[in-house]
Amino acid sequence: MKDTIDKIRSMFDGGDADEKREDLVFVTVPATQVVDCLGYLRDRAGYRHLVMISAVDYIERGVFQLTYLLHSYEKQNDIGIRADIGRDDASMDSIHRLWAAAQVYQRELREMFGIDFPGSPRVDEPMLLEGWEGIPPMRRDFDTKKYSEETFFPREGRKTADPATHMAEKNYASEEQVKRSVKDLVRGRRKRKGNDG
Amino acid sequence: MSDEIKKVNGIDEGFDEISEYFCDARPSPVSPSANRIVRNFQNWAQANSIFILGFGTGCGAIELRPLFTARYDVSRYGLFPRPTPRQSSLFIIGGYASIKTMKRIIRSYEQIQNPKFVMGLGSCTVNGGMYWDSYNTINRLDHYIPVDVYVAGCMPRPESLIAGFDRLKELIMEGKAEGANTYAENFDWYKNNQKKIIKNWNMPEYNW
């Protein structure tokens, strides 16, 4: 694991390793080096399994952070390759030639975050959002509540209550009442005077 | 449709699938029989042979499976699942309906022959439930298709569903389950609401 990390840092301008667990380490590399780095990990370092690709919208920094998580069956550990790409005109090199399955993740990222992967098969076909207009919904500047209120028809009378107090007030009688009714049941005197919860 | 298939089937270039294959006539309300005895007989017959469309539209469809098992055995009540909309009369919307599913729901609903009934299963069909502020799920089902009975809960147990069936039967017996006529009378309003959420309307206006 340590050798691999050192190799990534020397060969692909990797940043500091972020060690989450003994068997899970994240390394940040420049976005232009990601495909080469993943190719190296797959062919030379034994990380043959692509677990997932995910994106995080860091709107404060103006970037999407992409994470490519790889798994090695021989070494039984995971390496995550992170890369930052700009939020405006977000575009990334496709890795569908390394793992054909990556096209599904890339389609999803295109649909939900608006990150383009030129050359990836069927990347412009929507999976869920047929005919979606406007900014992609997983971006953090998309206000899902506002969109829902404008688009759908909210039913009147929706209110919020604290679950603990609500349950205590509505659903359960006080402890003493419960105790009393249990006592009554045991003694066989079923006084049903409105104190059955 | 590819050019080869067109050639094999002898279809011209200017062939429009939607107008050729589907009927675009608007639905019209059908008033119940004027004869009280006939009307009552029809209602009784309808109430006792409700065929459920086997289309699980959301997570609530998981509660439909136990209904057909030996424990609940819903066929005792005259209900039975059918595989296609053409053969069924009751459409159970199981929980949340995303916009993509909503498109299929509308198509399936319109393909069901009269008399047809809709049951909204779960809180999500009533007011959006826990997905009320989602960008992709509707809040009120009755703005898109007419709903006869709501079964509240998240999720309602099969017993609640059976109670819902009983209520639906009562409504049918009383001649109050006239969702199909409501749909035909307020057709423009329903279509308007449907088109507000379904942006790529690449299907016929009315397609039974």
Least Cα separation, residue B129 to chain A (angstroms)? 10
Give the integer Cα–Cα distance in Å for A114 and B195: 24
B7 in a structural domain: no
Location of structure tokens 């007011």: B127
Least Cα separation, residue A124 to chain B (angstroms)? 15
Q: Which of A52-56, A178-182, B142-146 has the lowest mean pLDDT?
A: A178-182
Of B98, B135, B139, the CB nearest to A154: B139
Q: Where are the domains of chain A?
A: 2-142
**Does A145 sit within 8 Å of B136, measured CB to CB?**
no
B92 in a structural domain: yes
Question: Which parts of chain B have pLDDT scores under 70?
Answer: 1-14, 18, 208
pLDDT at position A191 is 54
Question: Is pLDDT of A14 > 90?
Answer: no
**Does B143 sit within 8 Å of A153, measured CB to CB?**
yes
CB of B124 within 8 Å of a chain A CB? The answer is no
Contacts of B102 in chain A (CB under 8 A): none
B205 in a structural domain: no
For residues A28 and A83, is the Cβ–Cβ distance under 8 A? yes
B6 in a structural domain: no
Location of structure tokens 């067109």: B6
**Does B103 sit within 8 Å of A144, measured CB to CB?**
no
pLDDT at position B146 is 94
* pLDDT confidence band for A190 (50 / 70 / 90): low
Q: Which two tokens stand for residue B128?
A: 């959006």
B204 in a structural domain: no
Question: Chain B 13-32, CB below 8 Å of chain A: which residues?
Answer: none
Residues 6+ apart with CB under 8 A from B16: none
Q: CATH number of the domain that B74 lies in?
A: 3.40.50.12280
Least Cα separation, residue A147 to chain B (angstroms)? 6
**Does B134 sit within 8 Å of A144, measured CB to CB?**
yes
> Span A2-142: which CATH code?
3.30.460.80
Q: Give 3-state DSSP helix, strand, coil % of chain B, rounded to 5.
A: 45, 10, 40
**B108-137 pLDDT tens trace:** 999 998 889 999 998 889 988 888 889 999
For residues B123 and B153, is the Cβ–Cβ distance under 8 A? yes
For residues B95 and B129, is the Cβ–Cβ distance under 8 A? yes
Q: Which two tokens stand for residue B159?
A: 């017993």
Find, in chain B, the residue whose alpha carbon is nearest to that of A126: B100
**A133-161 pLDDT tens trace:** 889 999 999 999 899 988 888 888 877 77
Question: Is pLDDT of A48 > 90?
Answer: yes
Residues spanned by the domain of B113: 52-197
Task: Give the CA distances from residue A26 to residues A15, A17, A162, in Å, rounded to whole numbers and listed in that order.
Answer: 10, 6, 39
Residues of A in CB contact (< 8 Å) with B are 128-133, 137, 142, 144-145, 147-149, 151-155, 158
For B120, other C-beta atoms within 10 Å of its C-beta total 26
B43 in a structural domain: no
**B78-97 pLDDT tens trace:** 888 899 999 999 999 988 89
Question: Is pLDDT of A170 > 90?
Answer: no
**Does A154 sit within 8 Å of B128, measured CB to CB?**
yes
Q: Which two tokens stand for residue B143?
A: 């703005």
Residues 6+ apart with CB under 8 A from B203: B18, B103, B107
pLDDT at position B154 is 86
pTM reported for the whole predicted model: 0.81
pLDDT at position A71 is 95
CB of B198 within 8 Å of a chain A CB? The answer is yes
Question: Is pLDDT of A113 > 90?
Answer: yes
Burial class (CB in 10 A: 0-12, 13-18, 19+), A190: exposed
Contacts of A130 in chain B (CB under 8 A): 99-100, 103, 198-200
Contacts of B126 in chain A (CB under 8 A): 155
Which stretches of chain B are assigned E, i.e. beta strand?
50-53, 79-82, 90-94, 117-121, 149-151
How many structural domains comprise chain B?
1
**Does A154 sit within 8 Å of B136, measured CB to CB?**
no
Question: Is pLDDT of A49 > 90?
Answer: yes
B177 in a structural domain: yes
Q: CA angle at residue A5 from A3 to A9, to 5 degrees?
A: 115
For residues B91 and B117, is the Cβ–Cβ distance under 8 A? yes
Contacts of A145 in chain B (CB under 8 A): 133
Radius of gyration over alpha carbons of chain A, in Å?
A: 27
**Does B100 sit within 8 Å of A129, measured CB to CB?**
yes
**Does A155 sit within 8 Å of B100, measured CB to CB?**
no
Contacts of A128 in chain B (CB under 8 A): 98, 100, 136
Query: What are the two backbone dihedrals, phi and then psi, of residue B101, each rounded to the nearest 5 degrees?
Result: -70, -35
Which helix (DSSP H) or strand (DSSP E) does residue B102 occupy?
Answer: helix B99-111
pLDDT at position B12 is 62
Give the integer Cα–Cα distance in Å for B146 and B109: 10
pLDDT at position A68 is 95
Best mutation target, B98, B103, B131, B133, to test chain A (most A CBs within 10 A):
B133
B3 in a structural domain: no
Q: Which of B189, B174, B200 is nearest to B39 (CA)?
A: B174
